[in-house]
Amino acid sequence: MIQLIAPDGTVTQPERLPDVSIRLRLYHLMRRARHFDERAWVLYRTGRMGVFPPYGGMEASQVGTAAALTPDDWLFPTYRDTGAALTYGLPLAQTIAYWRTSPHGWAMPENLKVLPFYIPIATQYPHAVGAALAERRRGTRNVAMAYIGDGGSSEGDFHEALNFAGALNAPCVFILQNNGWAISVPTRSQTRATNLSRRAEGYGIPGVRVDGNDVLATYRVTAEAVQRARDGEGPTLIETVTYRVKPHTVADDPSRYRTAEDTAGWDARDPVLRLRAHLLAEGHLTEEADAEITREIEAEFEEALRVADAYPEPTPAEILDHVFAEPTPQLVRQRAQILAEEGA
C-alpha cells in the first residue's frame, strides 16, 4: 500500500512528495471539505438540511483524487462524495441546496462536468466509461473519474465497467473507496478479498492500492493515473484504503452494527491532522496561517448559506426540470397536469 507520510506526519517517501504549493492547496481543500461536513450535521439537527451522508475522515480520499482533475474532465460521484464535488468546483450554495432537496441544487453548473450525486449503487461506473469514450471520439485528452465504495465493487455494474473500459482502452480513472463498510455490512463479510485493487487484474488494467488517509499519496497516484489516461494508456483502478468513522447517514445509528473495537485507532489516522502535522514540521505552515485558513473557510460557508437561504421556495412543477435536456412528451403532459391542479 502506497504511503508518502505516516500518521504522525513524518515523511516516508520524500522523493515522491508533490510541490509545497500543491501540499498547501490540498490542506486548504481538505479543511474546506471538513468544514462543510461538520456544518451539514448542525444544519440537519436544526431542520435546515435534509438527510446527508457524512464523509468526515475520508477527506484525503476525496480531495486527493478530485484535485488531480482539470475543469475539462468528468466527475461521477456517489452520494458520499460531496467532498470530491466541492474540490472539483461545485459551488457551496448549490451543494447546500442539493442536500436540502431543493431544485435550486439539482442542475449542475453548465461549465462544470460533474454529475448529480448517484444514489443507486455502481450505476455511475458504466456511465463514466461512456463519457470517457465520448471524449476520445471527440479528439480530446479529457478523462472521466468515477467513485464507488467497497460494497459497490460487488455489484455487476462495477465489473462490467472495468471490462468495458479495459477492452476499449477508455481514458477513465476508477476510484474505489474502501471505507470498511457497506451500510452496516463490514468489508470482511461481503468479500473474502483483502486487496480490492487486484480486481483490476482480471480485466487487464492496472490496479493501485494507496493509503486513503494520506492525501499526498492519494494525489500522487491519481495524478499519475490521470496522466496515463490522457496519454492513451487506458484506465486505472485505485483503491483508497480509509475508514468511515461517521455513520452511514446523519439519520443512522452505527452503534447498532459496529463496536468501539471496530473504529479503534482510526482517529489517530485523521487525514487533515496528518497533513497539518507534516506542514507545521516542515515549516510550510504556521499557527497564524492556519487560523487565517479557518476564518476564510468559515466566512465562505456562511456567505454560501446566506445565498442558499435566499433561494425562493420551489414550485411543484420544478420537480420536472433538469430531467432531460429536452422534455419528453410525458414530462410535458405531467407539467400541464401539475399547473392545472395548481390553478384549480
Q: Where in the sequence numbering do the catalytic residues fall?
A: 244, 248, 257
Q: Which residues contact 113 (CB under 8 A, 6 or more apart)?
A: 71, 72, 73, 74, 75
User: 104-126 b/e with 16+ CB inside 10 Å = b?
Assistant: bbbebeeeebbbbbbeebbbbbb
Q: Concatenated DSSP letters for 147-205?
A: EEETTGGGSHHHHHHHHHHHHHT--EEEEEEE-SEETTEEHHHH-S-S-GGGGGGGGTS
CB 92 within 8 A of CB 32: no
Alpha-carbon distance of 318 to 232, in angstroms, equals 41
Among left, alpha and beta (phi > 0; psi -120 to 50; other), residue 178 is beta
Provide the grid cell at 299: 466566512
CA angle 102, 85, 97 (to 5 degrees): 15
Alpha-carbon distance of 125 to 129, in angstroms, equals 7
Q: Pairing between strand 181-182 and 185-186?
A: antiparallel
Q: Quick one: which of 227, 223, 221 has its CA closest to 239?
A: 221
